[in-house]
């Protein structure tokens, strides 16, 4: 029998239903406007007041998405990187001459943008100056450092830390296996990757000390840092796994918190921008809000017909958007 969490407090009644009528691969907020990234061609833009509208951004499937405060970025199988602002204005950032797939995109500091095609990662500055770096294997993930102009590129056997404006050679952080996602801690002290196997790997950047974070039952596909980087919330289990990063050693020698157990696996997590609270989406469509301190739960969505595929908070933490594989979506107003 499916666990519906009927015995916990609920915010379901605060949900504004949205009907994208297409699978949702990501969601982002620009101010209080939600941008649902659909699997084929379009974004669904949902302003706080007014009707949703569709915007065509690609001539085929959308393979990657990210956002900063000003734009939603998408990469498609049409070989284009596209930026959309809060007014819905669409700008093509780049078109690959060979129309190769855009595997990953990342929004960086001061308007910078990164993307990857097969074994090459690219950066475009705010002045639209473009540079590229060739890796030894296909790019598994991209992440800009929170300080300085650095790009982490995950790939087979480790991560390359690239300084596009420096003459020095890129730094290499080695660990055996395929690294399929990468993230910096908000204080820029740690670098963490998601592996092909059910594990994370990390490095303390000051001394390159390795951190192996295991114990998962499935591949970790979603990572999110809580406010001020105190905790790293992750998917990859039938419960929320949250690693401690408060001390100078991060999670080294420590065990994670295990919260919000459920019959079905966690597939996506999104940490609140101000409080140590994590929105957790499960394979059966359940969405919970979980407080890290004591594991207290609030029901945000009951189980449905398909997995949760997207979660995002607005900058204030008052709005939470969710989307599912079968095209169901909503925006929960927690500030009302």
pLDDT tens-digit map of 131-183: 999 999 999 999 999 988 999 999 999 999 999 988 888 999 999 999 999 99
Instruction: Specify the higher pLDDT residue, 229 or 3.
Output: 229
Is residue 140 a contact partner of residue 181, using CB atoms and an 8 Å limit? Answer: yes
pLDDT tens readout for residues 58-72: 999 999 999 999 999
- Identify the band that residue 304 occupies on the pLDDT scale cut at 50, 70 and 90: very high
Over residues 254-279, mean pLDDT? 97
The overall average pLDDT reported for the chain is 95
User: Does residue 260 have a pLDDT over 70?
Assistant: yes
Q: What pairing do the DSSP bridges indicate for beta strands 329-333 and 277-282? A: unpaired
Q: What pairing do the DSSP bridges indicate for beta strands 171-184 and 190-195? A: antiparallel
Q: What's the CA gap between 213 and 276, in Å, rounded?
A: 21
What pLDDT is attached to residue 1? 45
Q: What's the CA gap between 122 and 132, in Å, rounded?
A: 4
pTM of the model: 0.95
pLDDT tens readout for residues 188-198: 999 999 999 99
Please provide the distance, in angstroms rounded to a whole number, between the alpha carbons at the two ends of the chain: 33
- Percent of the chain beyond pLDDT 90? 89
Q: What's the CA gap between 149 and 286, in Å, rounded?
A: 38
Q: What's the CA gap between 34 and 253, in Å, rounded?
A: 40
What pLDDT is attached to residue 2? 62
User: Does residue 100 have a pLDDT over 50?
Assistant: yes
User: Does residue 30 have a pLDDT over 90?
Assistant: yes
pLDDT tens readout for residues 74-83: 999 999 999 9
Q: What's the CA gap between 299 and 280, in Å, rounded?
A: 10
What pLDDT is attached to residue 6? 75
- Identify the band that residue 128 occupies on the pLDDT scale cut at 50, 70 and 90: confident
What pLDDT is attached to residue 336? 63
Q: What's the CA gap between 288 and 302, in Å, rounded?
A: 9
């Amino acid at each position: 029998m499916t666990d519906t969490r009927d015995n916990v407090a609920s915010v379901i009644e605060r949900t504004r239903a949205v009907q994208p009528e297409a699978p949702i691969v990501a969601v982002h907020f620009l101010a209080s406007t939600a941008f649902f990234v659909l699997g084929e061609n379009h974004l669904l833009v949902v302003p706080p007041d007014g009707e949703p509208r569709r915007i065509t951004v690609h001539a085929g499937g959308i393979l990657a998405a990210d956002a900063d405060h000003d734009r939603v970025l998408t990469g498609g199988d049409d070989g284009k990187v596209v930026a959309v602002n809060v007014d819905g204005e669409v700008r093509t950032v780049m078109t690959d001459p060979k129309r190769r797939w855009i595997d990953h995109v990342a929004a960086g500091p001061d308007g910078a943008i990164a993307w990857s095609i097969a074994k090459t990662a690219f950066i475009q500055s705010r002045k639209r100056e473009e540079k590229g770096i060739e890796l030894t294997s296909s790019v598994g993930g991209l992440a800009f450092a929170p300080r300085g102009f650095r790009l982490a590129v995950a790939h087979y056997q480790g991560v390359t830390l690239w300084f596009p404006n420096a003459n020095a050679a890129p730094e290499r952080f080695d660990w055996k296996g395929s690294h399929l996602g990468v993230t910096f801690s908000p204080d820029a002290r740690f670098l963490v990757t998601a592996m092909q196997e059910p594990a994370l790997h990390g490095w303390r950047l000051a001394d390159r000390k390795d951190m192996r974070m295991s114990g998962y039952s499935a591949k970790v596909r979603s990572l999110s840092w809580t406010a001020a980087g105190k905790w790293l919330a992750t998917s990859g289990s039938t419960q929320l796994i949250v690693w401690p990063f408060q001390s100078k050693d991060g999670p080294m020698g420590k065990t994670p918190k295990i919260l919000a157990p459920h019959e079905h696996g966690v597939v996506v997590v999104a940490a609140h921008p101000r409080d140590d609270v994590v929105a957790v989406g499960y394979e059966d469509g359940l969405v919970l809000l979980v407080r890290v301190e004591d594991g207290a739960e609030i029901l945000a969505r009951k189980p449905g017909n398909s997995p949760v595929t997207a979660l995002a908070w607005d900058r204030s933490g008052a709005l939470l958007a969710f989307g599912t594989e079968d095209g169901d979506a909503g925006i929960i107003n927690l500030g009302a």
